[in-house]
Structure 1
Amino acid sequence: MATSSISGLASGLDTASIINQLMQLEAIPQTKLKNQQSVENDVIKALRQLNTDTALLASNAAKLATAGTWQTLKATSTSSTVTATATSSASPSSFTIVVGQLAKSAQTSYSADVALDANVLTVPGDPVVLTAADGTTHTINAGTGTLTDLAAGINAAKAGVTATTVRTGTNTYRLLLTADTTGAGSAIDLTNVSLGTATTDLGQDAQLTIGGIPASSKTNTFTDLVPGVSVTLAASAKNGDTATVSVAQDSSSVKGSVKALVDQVNALLTSIDTQTANKTSTTAAGVLAGDSTARSLRSALLNTVFGDGTTSLAQYGIQTDRYGKLVFDAEKFATAYAADPAGVAAKFTSGATSATDGWAARVATAAKTATDSYTGTITSAITGHTTTVDRLTKSIADWDDRLEIRRASLQRTYTALETALSNLQSQGNWLAGQIASLPTYSS
């Protein structure tokens, strides 16, 4: 319940201002609590960002720790008209390809020059039947029987054949039918049409020889020509073109992945250093200065370079510098990987036990230990600081109640003071009046 006050009516004092100043002094403990709460909230915000960054590191490290990431076989070709790709199921190999022929689509063209609105049906009203390159037959809705309606009906049938009207002169056109796919098959044919002589060009499969062994494909791509390796013939390929296809380990992609993880670790270490920096004569302390959780994470990440505590990854291109950061030597890594791909992969990927885990797996473990939703060290730290904020929030609210009571008390005190002074002034004025009314005597 609010208490009103009379500010200086009798005393002339600004009692409202005096009360406000006294309340500022009374509120010093609460102000300290609010400042502490603000600091705790800043710490929680920094820890949550650290948790997010560390969780992303854990995810990327786990990817690099999988054996599949290190299946880096790459297929190359000595000819621009022959390209090759390799999957993880391929094996290092080399073979020679000789192009036989390209795949092509079946086509049928008609010799009659007709107008688009000319009727082209032999027997109006009878159905038109299309035989597609795959041998299937389809009844075509030819509409009114004009060339335009016939072409539209063929395309609407979606029978694997595209009809095109080709302009040959002033208002004269011929019909061209083309299979939607390449490969050998039946001739494309139409019944009940008067379009002149039909010229058929059968489709054909692509052909090549590999080491003298013939191979064919309905398209210009030979999928899994050998296990895990597919070959594609360019449109410019010619009969007799020769290419040597080689499948070998390629360190460029995995080297880039290792470098990216090193860079990500260094970025996180730099962030931790900034957040945990102590105050100097020229810079303020970091928001996580003195925080053991962040410093422990830093140590854990840096120590992943040493698998068994003594052996480093220097021979594989990773080591620490005097600033407590990682350095990656891409050339040294590439050399080691070219010499022993499986051995180098084992130094980075997950092992049979945690004791045999490689570097990427150890980074993933260190990061997951910090960010686990239930047992993570960062998670626990966030929970602890959140509990502190909740306690401070309650204490601040309690102080609001205390300060409200104290203000009411001060207001009552000063109101009583003003009332007493006012009464005294009234009595003084009455006495002065009484004295003034007394008779005077002259001697």
Structure 2
Amino acid sequence: MTIKLITGHVVHFPNSTANPQQDTVEFKQGALAIEDEKIVAVDSADKLKQRYPEANIVDYGNKLIVPGFIDTHLHFPQTEMIASFGEQLIDWLNKYTFPTERQFEDPAYSRKIADFFLQQLWMNGTTTAAVWATVHKNSAEQLFSVAYERNMQLLTGKVCMDRHCPDYLQDTPESAQKESAELIAQWHNKGRLKYAITPRFAPTSTEKQMAMLGELMSSYNDVYLQTHLSENQQEIAWVKELYPDCKNYLDVYDKYQMVTERSLFGHCIHMEDDEWRVISEKGGIVAFCPRSNLFLGSGLYNLDKANAFNIKTTLATDVGGGDSFSMLRTLGEAYKVFQLQNITMDPLAGLYMMTRGAADALQLPDIGDFNPGTYADFTVLDPHFNALSSLRLKDADKAEDILFALSMLADERTTAATWIAGKPVWEYQQ
């Protein structure tokens, strides 16, 4: 098999770390050696050219080569309703989200948006994502199919809702369990695909549905769960009315065996200490969605509190509540959220949160860094994509400075190329 050498400024975290900063990141002019789908070596370009004299060379010059971004929470059916004006969470769902999701009963429409959605991820440097489909089984099937064609690492699942939503989006406890199980059998661990059991949130599932989904999750040792938790004060009050026997919002999920090390909880803004403690003890994962939290006026995620409980925090765009597919710009919004709380986050910590840290949290050891044996999923960033970024970064020689500036300034031109499993899926054309 022919070796490809990808040259440029290589940036990654070769090891897990509790404190991502300058002395834990590798940042050097170098190259990746790729054989077929995976990385076989990372070193200086000269050394790898000597080792592989027949290699095909793709030279990205002074651009940054970073692991592909990992987005842990976003809704592909909401792509076309991104940037819809007004409302907080519950009203926003009823006014915009539910009518939009109705269209996905049509498989051809699901395929069309799935194609467009993945293109948006790639043009923003995202190579792995935990994605929400709709209640329609075919919506998950179409998204899985498109990702499989590109050998992409993707987690998704059909949404489960049997109450408090329009009739045209309701399933039943029995159909939710049955269709989810069928999708697991068809798609889970097919190629690089993973299944995530997906109750939208506690208010839209009856106790019977929650019980049946919890039973389904307990039947597998590697299937994920994704849902929402403590995003909005109105939502939390609603959960307390619907589940009066549970001591808090998280306790609803815990009651049905849904809090595990494979559970992804979106938002987690208004959390009680007991909820933080249980998530920490059971190894749950938080998907922090700063753009969405600001757009819907939901609140500010408390990173210091999460860190105090050793919570695994990952970063997510939450399209369409979030108003951008860019993980870089989402990192910039995270910085602002923390500034409002007098919390300081190193830019390298942000990069870790959406590369190696997210891979570790999701227990996906073959992505997130450039160590030999990992998939060649990476994005190439151009720090000089326009006149302003060129001026700002003309003398920049530290990874944290470059990444911070890009988190504030990036747009689609920043992504020079995105590769998945050793093949380019996106290249910026001037």
TM-score category of the 2 structures, normalised to the smaller one: under 0.3
Which structure is richer in relative contact order (CA contacts within 8 A, separation 6 or more)? Answer: 1
Structure showing greater Rg: 1
TM-score (norm 2): 0.20
